Amino acid sequence: MDRVRQIYNDEKLLKKLQEDQNLTIEDVLENEMIINMGPQHPATHGVLRLVLRLDGETVVGIIPELGYLHRGYEKMAENMSYIEFIPHTDRLDYTGTMCNNVGYVLAVEKLAGIEAPKRAQYIRMIVAELSRIAAHLVAIGTFAMDVGAVTMVMWTFREREKVNSIFDRIAGARFTTSYTRIGGVASDIDDQSIAEIVQFLVELEPALGEMDKLMLSNRIFIDRLEGIGILPKEDAISLGVTGPNLRASGVEYDVRRAKPYLFYNEIDFKIPTFTQGDCLARYFQRGDEVKESIKILHQCLAKMPKGEVIANSPKKVLSHKTEIYSKMEELIHDFMIINFGINPPVGDTYFSVENPKGELGFYIVSNGSGQPWKLKIHSPSFCNLQAVSQLCKGAMISDVVAIIGSLDPVMGEADK
């Protein structure tokens, strides 16, 4: 007992352990059970705690508990400049990292009134779509692994390794890259990387065909997902669900079409929508979005112009190193930007992009100094997790695993 008291300073638990425990057989058979699907569990995507109230094996009520990965992003953002926060945005949705970088940098550019050159915008689109493919591959692979098809995670990670080596060549790191900068991107893409991207796309189409053949002819997989966790259209809108989950319930809303950013209004792509709203529809939705991303990538690679990759406005954007070492004004501006930050005008803006998980939005309040007064991150996984209580009512325990996998939350951004 002494060692227990040493390790856990938890008086409530100790009192309960020392109480009289006279449990009779009737207690166990008549009443409902409360079970804890704890933060450490192979099938919850990350550290999510679910408290289930069960009657036999049917879920009567469910409460998710977040906060096991709350790292204090918004408080840290108030104490560092806009440029210093870019590596932190990588770790929000850590499966598709370039999209978060692009979203944050676009929000700051909207606030400060900077415009990046055309080649930089196309490069941002290319890396964002590659990230989307990588994130959906992780989602599909781990979802299939949760339901029992363990081979899928090996196949999808084999494809994802190719994306990682492309990012390694472009940005220097496998996935937490911090590649974009305010006013453009950090460095240019060379022809070898473009050849590798084309080669990857050529190999991806038959691999997707193989995966489809494996999963869709499996009777158990289809039976386990069809008709489970149906989210009707009005409930999806009123609960604030975003991203592929919203589109699989019949609402045709994609930020790239509704409020186009970068050059998405010049690219021709469809928005896949399903009306059933069950787990199988969400699985197909992600597969179709990967196919659309392949189309977008082909068009971007064809249309990308030559030019600079960072904007030429030395007061607000860090210039190239050769200029800083040789010219006086650039040196002074570099010193001012690094130490005191870019000073955007007083005001607040909200900007959102389409992440693989949903709509990621940044609400920045500026008081004219180099550090934001407030930065709020609207994360899609937090909004999607609100729907869990309604979706899991009446399902069995094994369906809870399938539903969480199909909603695809990432706790790094749900907990901020």
Partner 1 sequence: MNTKELIIEKVKEKFGESVEEITDFRDDLCFIIKKDQIVNFGKYLKEDSDLQFIMCKDVTAIDWATRKKRFTTVYHIYSFKLNYALRLKANIDDEPPTIETVSSVWKSANWYERETWDMYGIKFLNHPDLRRIYMPEGFEHHPLKKDFPVLGIPGSLPLPHKAD
Partner 2 sequence: MGLEAVLQKDGFFTTTIDAIVGWARKSSVWPMPMGISCCAIEMIAAADPKYDIARFGSEVMRFSPRQSDLMIVAGTVTYKMAQVVRRIYDQMPEPKWVIAMGACTSSGGMYRSYSVVQGIDQFLPVDVYTAGCPPRPENLLNALMTIQDKIGKTRARDFQNRSLTELEHSQN
Q: Which is nearer to partner 1, 120 or 239 (CB)?
A: 239
Q: Which of residues 396-415 bind partner 1 (CB under 8 A)?
A: 415
Cα separation of 345 and 87, whole Å? 24
Buried b (16+ CB within 10 A) or exposed e, 61-83: ebebebeebeeebeeebeeebbb
47 binds, among partner 1, partner 2, none (CB under 5 to 8 A by kind): partner 2
Q: Shortest gap between Cβ of 348 and partner 1 (angstroms)?
A: 7
- In three-state secondary structure terms, 363 is strand
Pick from 293, 82, 321: which is nearest to 186 by CA?
Answer: 321
- Alpha carbon of 198 to those of 168, 202, 297, 300, 406: distances in Å? 16, 6, 9, 11, 30
User: Among residues 87, 226, 386, 393, which is the contact residue for partner 1, using CB under 8 A?
Assistant: 386
Q: Shortest gap between Cβ of 274 and partner 1 (angstroms)?
A: 18
153 binds, among partner 2, partner 1, none (CB under 5 to 8 A by kind): partner 2
Cα separation of 174 and 176, whole Å? 6
User: Residue 317 gets which letter from DSSP?
Assistant: S
Pick from 391, 383, 378: which is nearest to 409 by CA?
Answer: 383
What is the SS3 assignment for 34-51? EEEECCCCCCCCCCCEEE
Q: Which of residues 30-69 bind partner 2 (CB under 8 A)?
A: 38-42, 46-47, 67-69
Q: Shortest gap between Cβ of 240 and partner 2 (angstroms)?
A: 24
164 binds, among partner 2, partner 1, none (CB under 5 to 8 A by kind): partner 2
| Lookup: tokens for 284 | 């197909």
Q: Shortest gap between Cβ of 264 and partner 2 (angstroms)?
A: 27
Pick from 370, 313, 366, 368: which is nearest to 107 by CA?
Answer: 366
Q: Which of residues 144-173 bind partner 2 (CB under 8 A)?
A: 153-154, 157-158, 160-161, 164
Q: Which is nearer to partner 2, 164 or 313 (CB)?
A: 164
38 binds, among partner 2, partner 1, none (CB under 5 to 8 A by kind): partner 2
Q: Which is nearer to partner 2, 88 or 282 (CB)?
A: 88
Place of tokens 């369906």: 399
User: Among residues 78, 203, 223, 266, which is the contact residue for partner 1, using CB under 8 A?
Assistant: 78
User: Among residues 47, 111, 147, 402, which is the contact residue for partner 1, using CB under 8 A?
Assistant: 111
For the residues of 260-275, what is the DSSP string, one character each? Answer: --TTGGGS-------S
Cα separation of 6 and 83, whole Å? 44
206 binds, among partner 2, partner 1, none (CB under 5 to 8 A by kind): none
Question: Which residues lie near partner 2 (CB under 8 A)?
Answer: 3, 7-8, 38-42, 46-47, 67-72, 75-76, 87-88, 91, 94-95, 138, 153-154, 157-158, 160-161, 164, 174-176, 411-412
